[in-house]
Chain A
């Protein structure tokens, strides 16, 4: 029998008390035990960024943490970004409007990463956005529309309207 521990975590505002084997990664715990499959697993060794979550407000790769390490902490996953089931977060709207995703596999990681990035840097340059998302891999978009979506989201979050579509 593998060793287990009881942990308490708050995920997207909901408090969970769970017993988890100590060797389970936080990513697998979120997906398999909590059933929150919005957090995606690409490489499972800290390269692709798809599994990015916010731990106490700071982005982290959930495949590089053990679930037991999250005991007592607060987690935000992609499911917790939108204010409610009918309304998208401005960042999500910007991704939709600017075609910032194609297959969507990497998107949860980009969104969580950008939530933190735009909080730290509400008015970034294009170069800063590119560095900010350098820890996330996307194999569809070529990043251009993700960068545009991030800049558009920054504008929306600053309350300055939307970015004019490029022609």
Chain B
């Protein structure tokens, strides 16, 4: 028996969950368990109360509304992977989710769990930054929406209160025919990325970029939007030599150093991966791949 002792609660509704969060001391929400369970097994966390939200059915949905995808916090990563509407309206999400862990972990792992765990290298976290997602949160005083750009407040720390619950996220869809690519470098398939690049572009009929979103994951405590590169791309025609120049500026980004890679290695990846992703995104537009 490895996890420390705790009291177990398994509410069925969002209201009951919020009630428990407000009344219980030192409580942890258990979503898909793919991060919290290892932390419990190794006793990195010692909660007095576990609130298991796997039986709160209202937290599991994927729907298209007002040009955006709304996805419930307890939606399994597998359900996102196999969703037709996700593949059709937000193909970068499909490409990213296939790189999240393994089949066994995607069957349990959830969108909300990944966003709240907020691992700096997590694919869904980078994706939320790339798509300007909004996170929906419920608390005792009702619900609110948080722009993802302000969601990470520190390393693995989301901008939610102890008595609040993430109920889902809204991902604005890009127009059909856009280019996209999610490219990451990891030592083994399914590992967290050392660095990842999430790229979305639109081009006009002359092939010039009219809109760009470029996000790097794994560099710092939270994903970084490469806004200078995004601006520099406007009006450009995607082509390797020019991209090398534009992406070289990313080498000056701050990057963490850890057991997997030194800072300079991450900075090198930061110049390479967006370039590869942009070329892939451009080729997808050129091929007329329906997005």
Contacts and interface: CB of A to CB of B under 8 A. Distances in A.
A45 interface: yes
B52 A46 contact: no
Interface string A25-57: 100100000000000000011100100100100
Contacts of B52: 66, 68-69
A28 B41 CA distance: 12
Contact of A58 (B30, B40, B78): B78
A5 B9 CA distance: 11
B33 interface: yes
B33 A65 contact: yes
Nearest to A3: B7
Interface residues of B, number: 31
A58 B81 CA distance: 14
B5 A60 contact: no
Contacts of B30: 66
Interface in B30-66: 30, 33-34, 37-38, 40-42, 50, 52, 54
B37 A46 contact: yes
Given A63-B41, A134-B188, A135-B105, A25 B5 contact: no
Interface of B: 1-8, 10, 30, 33-34, 37-38, 40-42, 50, 52, 54, 78, 101-105, 107-108, 188-190
Interface of A: 2-3, 5, 21-25, 28, 44-46, 49, 52, 55, 58-61, 63-66, 68-69, 113, 116-117, 130-132, 134-135
